[in-house]
A and B are shown apart, each in its own frame.
Chain A
Amino acid sequence: DQQVKQNSPSLSVQEGRISILNCDYTNSMFDYFLWYKKYPAEGPTFLISISSIKDKNEDGRFTVFLNKSAKHLSLHIVPSQPGDSAVYFCAASTQAGTALIFGKGTTLSVSS
Protein backbone atom coordinates (compact mmCIF):
# COMPACT_ATOMS: atom_id res chain seq x y z
CA ASP A 1 0.00 0.00 0.00
CA GLN A 2 1.36 3.37 -1.01
CA GLN A 3 2.13 5.57 1.95
CA VAL A 4 2.93 8.64 -0.14
CA LYS A 5 0.73 9.38 -3.12
CA GLN A 6 1.11 11.84 -5.93
CA ASN A 7 -2.09 11.35 -7.86
CA SER A 8 -1.30 13.63 -10.77
CA PRO A 9 1.33 12.08 -13.05
CA SER A 10 1.70 15.32 -14.98
CA LEU A 11 0.97 19.03 -14.86
CA SER A 12 1.27 21.68 -17.57
CA VAL A 13 1.53 25.36 -16.69
CA GLN A 14 2.33 28.54 -18.57
CA GLU A 15 5.38 30.55 -17.70
CA GLY A 16 4.66 33.14 -15.04
CA ARG A 17 1.65 31.31 -13.61
CA ILE A 18 1.48 29.31 -10.40
CA SER A 19 2.28 25.59 -10.35
CA ILE A 20 0.67 23.55 -7.59
CA LEU A 21 1.87 20.01 -7.03
CA ASN A 22 -0.02 17.86 -4.57
CA CYS A 23 0.91 14.99 -2.31
CA ASP A 24 -1.14 12.87 0.10
CA TYR A 25 0.12 10.50 2.75
CA THR A 26 -1.43 7.79 4.87
CA ASN A 27 1.08 7.22 7.67
CA SER A 28 0.34 9.56 10.58
CA MET A 29 3.82 8.81 11.98
CA PHE A 30 5.48 10.84 9.24
CA ASP A 31 6.90 13.99 10.74
CA TYR A 32 9.08 15.39 8.01
CA PHE A 33 8.27 15.98 4.36
CA LEU A 34 10.58 16.82 1.51
CA TRP A 35 10.28 17.71 -2.15
CA TYR A 36 12.88 16.62 -4.65
CA LYS A 37 13.31 17.77 -8.23
CA LYS A 38 14.69 15.53 -10.93
CA TYR A 39 15.91 16.43 -14.39
CA PRO A 40 16.43 13.70 -17.03
CA ALA A 41 19.78 11.93 -16.73
CA GLU A 42 20.41 13.40 -13.27
CA GLY A 43 19.79 12.27 -9.74
CA PRO A 44 17.04 13.87 -7.61
CA THR A 45 18.06 17.06 -5.86
CA PHE A 46 16.60 18.40 -2.66
CA LEU A 47 14.26 21.36 -3.14
CA ILE A 48 12.43 22.22 0.07
CA SER A 49 11.19 20.52 3.22
CA ILE A 50 8.76 21.02 6.07
CA SER A 51 8.51 19.66 9.58
CA SER A 52 5.17 18.40 10.83
CA ILE A 53 5.13 21.12 13.50
CA LYS A 54 4.79 23.75 10.80
CA ASP A 55 2.13 24.38 8.21
CA LYS A 56 4.14 26.44 5.77
CA ASN A 57 7.71 26.82 4.64
CA GLU A 58 8.88 29.26 2.03
CA ASP A 59 12.09 29.48 0.03
CA GLY A 60 12.12 32.03 -2.75
CA ARG A 61 9.63 31.00 -5.42
CA PHE A 62 8.88 27.72 -3.66
CA THR A 63 6.41 27.29 -0.81
CA VAL A 64 5.30 24.05 0.76
CA PHE A 65 2.03 23.85 2.67
CA LEU A 66 1.18 21.06 5.09
CA ASN A 67 -2.34 20.17 6.22
CA LYS A 68 -1.86 17.48 8.87
CA SER A 69 -5.53 16.89 9.49
CA ALA A 70 -6.03 16.12 5.81
CA LYS A 71 -2.66 14.36 5.50
CA HIS A 72 -1.96 16.53 2.51
CA LEU A 73 0.88 18.72 1.38
CA SER A 74 1.39 20.87 -1.66
CA LEU A 75 4.27 22.60 -3.37
CA HIS A 76 3.59 26.01 -4.91
CA ILE A 77 5.94 27.49 -7.47
CA VAL A 78 5.36 31.17 -8.20
CA PRO A 79 6.10 32.36 -10.80
CA SER A 80 6.75 29.19 -12.80
CA GLN A 81 9.70 29.24 -15.19
CA PRO A 82 10.60 26.93 -18.10
CA GLY A 83 13.63 25.75 -16.10
CA ASP A 84 11.24 24.35 -13.51
CA SER A 85 10.18 21.66 -15.98
CA ALA A 86 11.18 18.42 -14.25
CA VAL A 87 9.82 15.50 -12.28
CA TYR A 88 8.92 16.42 -8.71
CA PHE A 89 8.94 13.78 -6.00
CA CYS A 90 7.26 14.15 -2.65
CA ALA A 91 8.96 12.21 0.15
CA ALA A 92 8.26 11.59 3.83
CA SER A 93 10.17 10.29 6.81
CA THR A 94 9.80 9.60 10.51
CA GLN A 95 12.23 10.50 13.29
CA ALA A 96 13.11 6.85 13.75
CA GLY A 97 12.80 5.96 10.11
CA THR A 98 15.36 4.29 7.95
CA ALA A 99 14.20 5.55 4.60
CA LEU A 100 12.65 8.36 2.72
CA ILE A 101 9.33 7.11 1.35
CA PHE A 102 8.76 8.56 -2.08
CA GLY A 103 5.67 9.19 -4.14
CA LYS A 104 5.63 8.22 -7.81
CA GLY A 105 6.39 11.72 -8.98
CA THR A 106 4.67 14.45 -10.99
CA THR A 107 6.10 15.67 -14.27
CA LEU A 108 5.82 19.45 -14.49
CA SER A 109 6.00 21.13 -17.89
CA VAL A 110 6.25 24.90 -17.97
CA SER A 111 5.74 26.42 -21.41
CA SER A 112 6.96 29.85 -22.45
Chain B
Amino acid sequence: EAQVTQNPRYLITVTGKKLTVTCSQNMNHEYMSWYRQDPGLGLRQIYYSMNVEVTDKGDVPEGYKVSRKEKRNFPLILESPSPNQTSLYFCASSRRTGGEAEAFFGQGTRLTVV
Protein backbone atom coordinates (compact mmCIF):
# COMPACT_ATOMS: atom_id res chain seq x y z
CA GLU B 1 0.00 0.00 0.00
CA ALA B 2 1.35 3.41 -0.99
CA GLN B 3 1.81 5.51 2.09
CA VAL B 4 3.65 8.21 3.97
CA THR B 5 4.36 7.27 7.57
CA GLN B 6 5.10 9.78 10.29
CA ASN B 7 6.16 9.07 13.84
CA PRO B 8 5.21 9.85 16.49
CA ARG B 9 1.57 10.78 16.01
CA TYR B 10 1.47 12.73 19.26
CA LEU B 11 4.30 14.30 21.23
CA ILE B 12 4.45 16.53 24.29
CA THR B 13 7.86 17.93 25.08
CA VAL B 14 9.49 20.70 27.06
CA THR B 15 11.11 23.84 25.73
CA GLY B 16 14.67 23.29 24.57
CA LYS B 17 14.64 19.49 24.40
CA LYS B 18 15.74 18.37 20.96
CA LEU B 19 13.33 16.16 19.07
CA THR B 20 12.99 14.46 15.71
CA VAL B 21 9.84 13.62 13.81
CA THR B 22 10.42 10.87 11.30
CA CYS B 23 8.84 10.58 7.86
CA SER B 24 9.12 7.68 5.46
CA GLN B 25 7.48 7.05 2.06
CA ASN B 26 7.33 3.82 0.06
CA MET B 27 6.47 5.27 -3.36
CA ASN B 28 10.02 6.06 -4.50
CA HIS B 29 9.07 9.74 -4.73
CA GLU B 30 11.86 12.23 -5.29
CA TYR B 31 10.10 15.17 -3.73
CA MET B 32 9.30 15.42 -0.03
CA SER B 33 8.24 18.30 2.16
CA TRP B 34 7.10 19.28 5.63
CA TYR B 35 4.10 21.45 6.42
CA ARG B 36 2.63 22.79 9.59
CA GLN B 37 -1.06 23.46 10.08
CA ASP B 38 -2.20 26.14 12.48
CA PRO B 39 -5.72 27.45 13.15
CA GLY B 40 -6.65 30.16 10.69
CA LEU B 41 -3.39 29.80 8.77
CA GLY B 42 -3.90 26.67 6.71
CA LEU B 43 -0.91 24.57 5.65
CA ARG B 44 2.45 26.30 5.41
CA GLN B 45 5.59 24.72 4.02
CA ILE B 46 8.56 24.43 6.37
CA TYR B 47 11.23 22.68 4.27
CA TYR B 48 11.33 20.64 1.12
CA SER B 49 13.68 18.25 -0.61
CA MET B 50 13.87 17.63 -4.34
CA ASN B 51 16.13 14.61 -4.01
CA VAL B 52 18.72 12.94 -1.80
CA GLU B 53 21.04 15.52 -0.22
CA VAL B 54 19.02 18.39 -1.79
CA THR B 55 16.98 20.41 0.70
CA ASP B 56 15.76 23.98 0.85
CA LYS B 57 13.70 26.32 2.99
CA GLY B 58 9.99 26.77 2.59
CA ASP B 59 7.90 29.61 3.94
CA VAL B 60 8.42 29.07 7.68
CA PRO B 61 11.82 27.36 8.21
CA GLU B 62 12.94 29.14 11.39
CA GLY B 63 13.65 26.75 14.24
CA TYR B 64 13.67 23.63 12.07
CA LYS B 65 16.24 21.45 10.33
CA VAL B 66 15.85 18.58 7.91
CA SER B 67 18.06 15.99 6.28
CA ARG B 68 17.64 13.72 3.26
CA LYS B 69 20.24 11.00 3.39
CA GLU B 70 18.02 8.39 1.77
CA LYS B 71 15.27 8.80 -0.78
CA ARG B 72 12.55 7.33 1.41
CA ASN B 73 13.25 9.26 4.64
CA PHE B 74 12.91 12.95 5.45
CA PRO B 75 13.13 13.64 9.19
CA LEU B 76 12.18 16.98 10.73
CA ILE B 77 14.47 18.12 13.53
CA LEU B 78 13.70 20.70 16.20
CA GLU B 79 17.02 21.44 17.88
CA SER B 80 15.54 23.64 20.62
CA PRO B 81 11.74 23.53 20.50
CA SER B 82 9.77 26.53 21.68
CA PRO B 83 6.06 26.90 22.51
CA ASN B 84 5.38 28.69 19.19
CA GLN B 85 6.27 25.43 17.46
CA THR B 86 3.24 23.78 19.00
CA SER B 87 1.38 22.72 15.88
CA LEU B 88 0.13 19.90 13.69
CA TYR B 89 2.85 18.73 11.31
CA PHE B 90 2.46 16.90 8.03
CA CYS B 91 5.02 15.25 5.84
CA ALA B 92 4.22 14.92 2.14
CA SER B 93 5.79 13.27 -0.88
CA SER B 94 5.18 13.49 -4.61
CA ARG B 95 6.60 12.22 -7.89
CA ARG B 96 7.82 15.63 -8.91
CA THR B 97 7.53 19.26 -8.06
CA GLY B 98 5.22 21.69 -9.71
CA GLY B 99 2.54 21.00 -12.29
CA GLU B 100 0.62 17.82 -11.68
CA ALA B 101 2.25 17.43 -8.33
CA GLU B 102 -0.32 15.44 -6.44
CA ALA B 103 1.14 15.14 -2.96
CA PHE B 104 0.54 12.28 -0.58
CA PHE B 105 0.40 13.24 3.07
CA GLY B 106 1.20 11.42 6.26
CA GLN B 107 -1.34 11.23 9.06
CA GLY B 108 0.21 14.09 10.97
CA THR B 109 2.15 14.64 14.18
CA ARG B 110 0.56 16.76 16.85
CA LEU B 111 3.37 18.44 18.77
CA THR B 112 2.90 20.34 22.01
CA VAL B 113 5.85 22.26 23.47
CA VAL B 114 5.39 23.36 27.07
Contacts and interface: CB of A to CB of B under 8 A. Distances in A.
A112 interface: no
A89 B43 contact: yes
Chain A contact surface mostly: loop
Interface residues of A, number: 26
Contact of B48 (A36, A96, A98, A105): A98
A11 interface: no
B42 A105 contact: yes
Given A93-B101, A99-B48, A100-B101, A44 B90 contact: yes
B33 interface: yes
A104 B41 contact: yes
A111 B17 CA distance: 44
A34 B45 contact: no
Contacts of A102: 35, 42-44
B106 interface: yes
25 contacts: A6-B42, A32-B99, A34-B102, A36-B105, A41-B107, A41-B108, A42-B107, A43-B4, A43-B92, A43-B108, A45-B105, A51-B100, A89-B43, A95-B98, A97-B99, A98-B58, A98-B97, A98-B98, A99-B33, A99-B58, A99-B59, A100-B101, A103-B42, A104-B40, A105-B42
Which A-B residue pairs are the 10 nearest by beta carbons? Answer: A43-B105, A104-B42, A97-B98, A102-B43, A99-B45, A95-B99, A95-B98, A102-B42, A44-B105, A43-B107
Interface of A: 6, 31-32, 34, 36, 41-46, 49, 51, 89, 93-100, 102-105
Interface of B: 4, 33, 35, 40-45, 48, 50, 56, 58-59, 90, 92, 97-108
